[in-house]
A and B are shown apart, each in its own frame.
Chain A
Amino acid sequence: MKVRMKSFAILRQFLPRETEVEIGDGSTVRDLLELLVKQAPPLAGELFNEKRELKDFVNILRNGRNIHFISGLDTPLSEGDLVALFPPAGGG
């Protein structure tokens, strides 16, 4: 299946602004991130801690909904889903 992915801010150093990703049926957000990291290994340091868990401040939206409020990295993906990755800014 195909899902669309958008990335912002620091993640733009490793990922295009918007791209279509071919991924196996039944994949989760974790599978998508692993695929992206395989293509751009330095991305891992921006997304994951040393236990390979998602850094909790990285916001990932599936069709506008934060995966923190769905099933985290186990959030399932479907054909045509839009996944947006952005680490929020904190300074003022």
Chain B
Amino acid sequence: MLSLVERERYLRQISLLGETGQERLRDAAVLIAGAGGLGSVCAQMCACAGFGKIRIVDKDVVERHNLNRQVLYAARDHGLFKVDVAARRLRENNPLISVEPVRKTITRESIGGLVKGIDVIIDGMDNYDARYLLDDAAFGEDLPFIHGAVNGFYGQVSSIIPGKTPCLHCIVPHPPPSGNVPILGVTVGTIGSIQVAEAIKLVTGLGKTMAGRMLLWDGLMGEAEVLPVARDPSCTRCNGKGVFP
């Protein structure tokens, strides 16, 4: 049952999701992996939508050059740990949810604890080493993993579902060169919002997710494309588990 306060707060979306859908969001725990550009947007959108528990992980502090796109932070937050500021902002935004900030790097050692008790993993990372660790954890723990990445005006989203779709290693077998890429706030706003739309659909069972498909967004040309993604037949992570070709 939703409380009166919850009914009021979520009034304009309960008509879309139903009370059961809203209850499912309230009962869901989401891991936001990274509190940068994508992570800021994803965390904010998850808090607004009413995901009951948000665990947000990042090791960095707020720097001035983050502020063009990392919408959770203000100029006064310079030098503070991102996850601490994020937790404060998210709790201010929605006091009905629980927010757990974790100041950690995602490593092979830390990942097990980070996904414990989690229902959905959302990718807010800026490198593929960490993304592949999240992907491994998703397949190890049978959790959906919503991949997102950006570069300049471009971005991509795919929902990775163990047992149903190819893993990230199959979708992106060779990562692009690492290093800082140009990023606009509008691109992370677009891609992060689509990632959370995926999370809402996965948790409520509504609509059709980007499982087995990848959305490519080109904000420069104003074009979007959806491509099918396929497994590497020799993949040892998802081989035999995928129903997609």
Contact = CB atoms under 8 A, between A and B. Distances in A.
B232 A68 contact: yes
Interface stretch (A6-14, A20-28, A29-37): A6-14
Given A9-B216, A9-B218, A65-B230, A91 B177 contact: no
A84 interface: yes
Contact of A10 (B149, B154, B170, B188): B154
A61 interface: yes
Nearest to A69: B232
Contact of A89 (B149, B178, B221, B227): B149
Interface string B151-179: 10011100000000000001011111110
B221 A17 contact: yes
Contacts of A84: 227
B128 interface: yes
Contact of A90 (B36, B175, B216): B175
Q: Is the interface of A mostly helix, strand, loop or mixed?
A: mixed
Name the residue in A12, A56, A65, A92 with the highest tally of chain B Cβ atoms < 10 Å from its Cβ: A92
Interface in B172-207: 172-178, 180-181, 183, 188
B149 A90 contact: yes
A66 B230 contact: yes
A6 B177 CA distance: 23
B119 interface: no
A89 B123 contact: no
Contact of B178 (A65, A69, A90): A90
Interface of B: 34, 36-39, 123-128, 148-151, 154-156, 170, 172-178, 180-181, 183, 188, 216, 218, 220-221, 223, 225, 227-234, 245
Interface of A: 6, 8-10, 12, 17, 56-57, 59, 61, 64-66, 68-69, 84, 86-92
Given A90-B128, A92-B126, A92-B127, 19 more contacts: A9-B154, A10-B154, A12-B220, A17-B221, A17-B223, A57-B176, A57-B177, A66-B232, A68-B173, A68-B232, A69-B170, A84-B227, A87-B176, A88-B175, A88-B176, A89-B181, A91-B180, A92-B36, A92-B38
